[in-house]
């Protein structure tokens, strides 16, 4: 029997944390089919120091799979026999753990070095994996790779010179939605509402989204852009409040530099559409409510390895206004509102070298799709809602269920199978 230790950010609020936890739930769901060949245990390697994930009832589903630090020592010393490691982390993050950069990760090097075989699940958002990842993967003894989208798998295959397995994230369609109203809901009941949820950072390109929204709907008093964003969830509550105020200032600056015709020119007419900004940490059910009360989800992201927030909006039966390229196009259908763009030099984020490219949304195309969505809401609301319903149906019929992802995980392991006696 092959013993597998699944190392991931199991206590983190990040996309990697969500993906790792749902993968383990999928593995657990189908494990009886593979119990004679595999035993899968898990170890949490977290970046966040104050996460409350373990208090979530859903976490109980994977708790029994967790191993302690003492057991890690048993495996890495060879006392518990042969084993393999699945490293569900960005390769640089795994390398930091391997190199002992942080004291509480000092057991990782021996765990990775003494395993029989190392597998990696990770994602990337530009069109080229950084060249230094290749040496890191070699040091980590990674011989089998999986990514969450076909676009990503092609990028990894070019970098590492081998077949790369596509292991999509689970898209849970039975999402819990809070029944508690937000304070602004009643005031916006008859408004067209677009929701955007993401970290506030250059790759997510909120600037293009805001400019496109105000370009398209500046004269529409019944149009609202709801932005739920944060800069760093690891910060203290006081720091998050300060950052929220700073982001609100940036939003105001961006929208105030979208100029429309005015008389006289020196006194621009105020925009009729509105923006609501929500910062800090919200419970998942509250995030889902923001999506459920909105008419469409939008993002002008410059690249996604998968695009979990987009998928979750579709799972909640919402149409999406998104770029027509990168990882999310594995599940976003042409029926949605697709933004055209162009590939150009990646910049503004240190992890992305300038010899790689991002997909930049054209403001004009984003504005056109937002306006198209608004007009449909205004004149053919049932048609708009039907797009959202079919989004959910397509996910349920696709390769994103617990069973499908669980089976795909074991297929991935078998692609890296070593011949043993």
Query: Check: CATH 3.30.1490.20 for 186-397?
Result: no
Alpha carbons 279 and 157: distance in angstroms, whole number:
38
DSSP 256-280: HT-----SSTTSPPPPSSEEEEE-S
Under the banding of pLDDT at 50, 70 and 90, the label for residue 235 is low
**CB contact at 8 A, 146 and 283:** no
Residue 100: phi, psi to the nearest 5? Answer: 75, 30
Q: What is the pTM of this model?
A: 0.93
Mean local confidence (pLDDT), 194-219: 97
Beta-strand ranges (E) seen in 265-324 are 274-278, 296-298, 320-323
DSSP 404-417: HHHHHHHHHHHHT-
User: What does CATH list as the number for 2-170+401-415?
Assistant: 3.40.50
Question: What percent of the chain is modeled with pLDDT above 70?
Answer: 94
Residue-wise pLDDT tens digits, 68-125: 888 888 888 888 889 999 999 999 999 988 887 766 567 788 889 899 999 999 999 9
pLDDT for the residue numbered 417 = 66
Dihedral (Cα; 225, 280, 231, 187), 10-degree rounding: 10
Question: What percent of the chain is modeled with pLDDT above 90?
Answer: 77
Average pLDDT of the chain, as a whole number: 92
Residue recorded with tokens 């029944």:
179
Q: How large is the angle between the packed helices 284-292 and 308-315, nearest 10 degrees? A: 60
Instruction: Give start-end residues of each CATH 3.40.50.2000 domain in the chain.
Output: 186-397
Under the banding of pLDDT at 50, 70 and 90, the label for residue 46 is confident
Which pair of tokens denotes residue 304?
């996604």
Residue recorded with tokens 């200032």:
249
Provide the total of helices (H) and of strands (E) in the chain, helices listed first: 14, 14
**CB contact at 8 A, 110 and 77:** yes
Residue-wise pLDDT tens digits, 257-284: 999 887 556 666 789 999 999 998 888 8
Residue recorded with tokens 């695009």:
307
Alpha carbons 235 and 62: distance in angstroms, whole number:
27
Long-range contacts of 282-289 (CB under 8 A, 24+ apart): 282/228, 283/178, 284/175, 284/176, 285/176, 285/177, 285/178, 286/178, 286/180, 287/197, 287/228, 288/175, 288/176, 288/177, 288/178, 288/312, 288/316, 289/177, 289/178, 289/180, 289/182
């Amino acid at each position: 029997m092959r013993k597998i230790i699944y190392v991931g950010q199991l206590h983190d609020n990040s996309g990697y944390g969500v993906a790792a936890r749902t993968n383990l739930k999928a593995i657990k769901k189908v494990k009886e089919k593979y119990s004679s060949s595999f035993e899968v245990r898990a170890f949490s390697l977290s970046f966040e120091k104050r996460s409350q994930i373990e208090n979530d009832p859903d976490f109980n589903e994977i708790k029994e799979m967790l191993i302690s630090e003492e057991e890690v020592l048993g495996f890495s010393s060879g006392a518990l026999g042969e084993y393999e490691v699945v490293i569900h982390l960005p390769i640089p993050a795994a390398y930091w753990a391997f190199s002992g950069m942080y004291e509480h990760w000092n057991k990782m090097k021996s765990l990775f070095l003494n395993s029989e075989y190392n597998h990696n699940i990770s994602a990337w958002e530009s069109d080229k994996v950084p060249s230094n990842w290749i040496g890191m993967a070699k040091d980590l003894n990674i011989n089998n790779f999986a990514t969450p989208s076909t676009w990503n798998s092609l990028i990894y295959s070019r970098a590492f010179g081998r077949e790369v397995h596509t292991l999509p994230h689970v898209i849970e369609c039975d999402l819990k939605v809070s029944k508690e109203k937000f304070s602004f809901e009643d005031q916006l009941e008859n408004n067209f509402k677009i929701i955007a949820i993401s970290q506030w950072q250059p790759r997510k390109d909120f600037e293009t989204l805001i400019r496109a929204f105000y370009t398209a709907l500046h004269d529409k008093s019944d149009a609202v852009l709801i932005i739920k964003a944060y800069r760093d969830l690891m910060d203290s509550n006081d720091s998050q409040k300060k950052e929220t105020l700073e982001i609100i200032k940036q939003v105001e600056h961006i929208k105030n530099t979208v100029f429309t015709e005015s008389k006289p020119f020196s006194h621009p007419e105020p925009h009729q559409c509105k923006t609501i900004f929500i910062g800090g940490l919200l419970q998942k059910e509250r995030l889902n409510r923001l999506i459920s009360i909105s008419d469409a989800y939008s993002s002008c992201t410059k690249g996604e390895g998968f695009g979990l927030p987009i998928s979750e909006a579709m799972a909640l039966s919402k149409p999406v206004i998104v770029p027509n390229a990168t990882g999310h196009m594995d599940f976003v259908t042409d029926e949605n509102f697709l933004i055209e763009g162009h590939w150009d030099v990646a910049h503004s984020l240190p992890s992305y070298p300038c010899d790689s490219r991002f997909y930049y949304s054209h403001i004009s195309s984003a504005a056109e799709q937002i306006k198209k969505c608004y007009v449909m809401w205004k004149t053919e609301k049932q048609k708009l809602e039907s797009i959202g319903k079919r989004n959910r149906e397509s996910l349920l019929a696709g390769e994103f269920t617990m069973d499908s992802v669980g089976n795909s995980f074991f297929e991935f392991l078998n692609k890296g199978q070593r011949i043993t006696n």
